[in-house]
Amino acid sequence: MPTFYPDPPPTPNDDWRNPKPSVPPPIVDPAYPEEEDWESPFASKAAESSPVTYRGAASDPVFGYLIAIALSIGLMPLIPTDPALRYTLIWSVMAGFGVLAWLLGSSGRIWMETPENLGWGVIFGLILSVPFVIFGGSTLQQTAQRIFTGMKPGEILAFLIFVMPTAETLFFRGVLQETRRFLIVSVLGTIWSILLFFPMIDAGRYPAVALIIGTALLLMNLMYGYVRQRNGLAAAWLCQIVANLILLFLPLL
């Protein structure tokens, strides 16, 4: 006697039991691109971890350096009457370039620094300045008096702690040293310091003293660049503050 088995259950690929009407493929208008090729007119949100690059990051910071050099030369007529104004204008322009690069460009950043790095900045500032005080105290006193002639101690202290180290650290160590070797940045910083200070000390009449001071300026800029590379931007900033206080302010007391 024959045996009747029930029909097997339909499989997902068994479509003959439930035929579906054929759907024609969508017609794509050639005037409009497909969704995959369509580009939104609005900028997509960048990943939070990716760095943001602005148009100012592509500008060459040497342009700001040349402007600062031109100002240091062009404002020399202010030396006999108001040298403090000359310093303020020149360092303000340099600080302005550094701040703009900080906000809009690829300048170096001061993050949460470790006490070790900050301590090394102070130590390197002492290593740099103490030997000059021991072997050239009288020369430093005369140099500081000529550089800050006619200024009060409060003005000198404000320049040495806030204005000068902030402007030069942000520009040289924060902007230039991001894209150039610290040896090149140190040479550029030395040229800047010579053009800034030598007209104040009348270097043409004392070439030997000018040579000693120029060598000291080169060593100082080399030290600042090395500390920036080794311990960070904040350490270089502290190193310059310590060196300024010992080399230029203490001899005036």
| For residue 147, pLDDT beyond 60 | yes
Half-sphere exposure of 162 (CA within 13 A, CB side): 7
Which of these ranges, 22-36, 173-187, 204-218, has the smallest mean pLDDT? 22-36
For residue 27, what pLDDT band results from cuts at 50, 70 and 90? low
CA-to-CA distance for 200 and 118, rounded, in angstroms? 32
pLDDT in tens, 61-110: 888 899 999 999 999 999 999 999 999 999 999 999 988 887 876 666 66
Q: How many domains does the chain fold into?
A: 1
Phi, psi at residue 34, to the nearest 5°?
-70, 170
The answer to whether position 4 is within a domain reads no
Q: Which of 155, 150, 117, 111 is nearest to 249 (CA)?
A: 155
In a domain, 112, yes or no: yes
Mean pLDDT of 145-167: 93
Domain interval for residue 179: 60-252
CA distances from 216 to 24, 115, 206, 209, 232 (A): 84, 28, 15, 11, 22
Q: What was the pLDDT predicted at 101? A: 82
Asked whether residue 225 carries a pLDDT value surpassing 80, the answer given is yes
- For residue 49, give the DSSP letter: T
* pLDDT attached to residue 62: 85
65 belongs to a structural domain: yes
**Looking at the domain assignment, is residue 30 inside a domain?**
no
